[in-house]
Amino acid sequence: MIGIVDYGMGNLFSVSKGLERLEADSFISDDPAELAKATGIILPGVGSFRDAMSLLEKQNLDEFLKQYVADGGFLLGICLGMQLLFDESEEKGPAKGLSLIPGKVVRFTGVDANEQTYKVPQMGWNQLRFKHSSPLIDGLAEEHVYFVHSYYADTDESYMIASTTYDVEVPAIVGKGNVFGMQFHPEKSGQMGMSLLKNYLSLVEGKDKA
């Protein structure tokens, strides 16, 4: 059973519909006691990092998620939810994150090395490039997935399961132990996105080992 965290800033409907297409049992909750019963958790998110962390802290969901992970539970952050996994973000001034994966969330500059401007936010389909083995990408090819974001994670290469390029190398899928993140929207990324979610479900259900 997958718990989807409702803290007021998540794309809850699209994520739940994606899981429904995979015939996965899931529920949406803002209650730590209920979420603790989940075999795996998804942390979605759309909007400002600082605002999202404020809402998580207000509902004590930040401490719950840290303890859930410490107890061995699987956590997947999607889009802003992935960014919240890191130590901090420069969005709207420095803001502390969940510190589940080392790194800082920074903004695309909008100007490349040749001083040519490029569009921010990044919106559209970009190809994944696999960097490290992981149950999340087992059996999959380096397909395109759908991104919408102005900020990206500046993190060590060792935490990158897959990356893409948008002026700079962008961590697209990250992982550390039982914590994972996808910068793109798997639920909006066609068959590739569904396959990635299916692999997460298989991992949570114990069919694979991290």
CB 14 within 8 A of CB 185: yes
Kindly report the CA angle at 158 between 153 and 162, in degrees rounded to 5?
A: 65
Active site residue 23: no
Residue tagged active-site, from 63, 91, 144, 187: 187
Closest CA to 65 of 114, 30, 115, 28: 30
Active site residue 185: yes
Place of tokens 């899981």: 19
Please, which residues have CB within 8 angstroms of residue 53's CB and are 6 or more apart in sequence? 62, 84, 95, 96, 97, 98
Residue tagged active-site, from 34, 142, 185, 205: 185
Active site residue 157: no
Q: How far is CA 6 from CA 17, 43, 195, in A?
A: 15, 8, 24
Kindly report the CA angle at 9 between 8 and 15, in degrees rounded to 5?
A: 105
Active site residues: 79, 185, 187
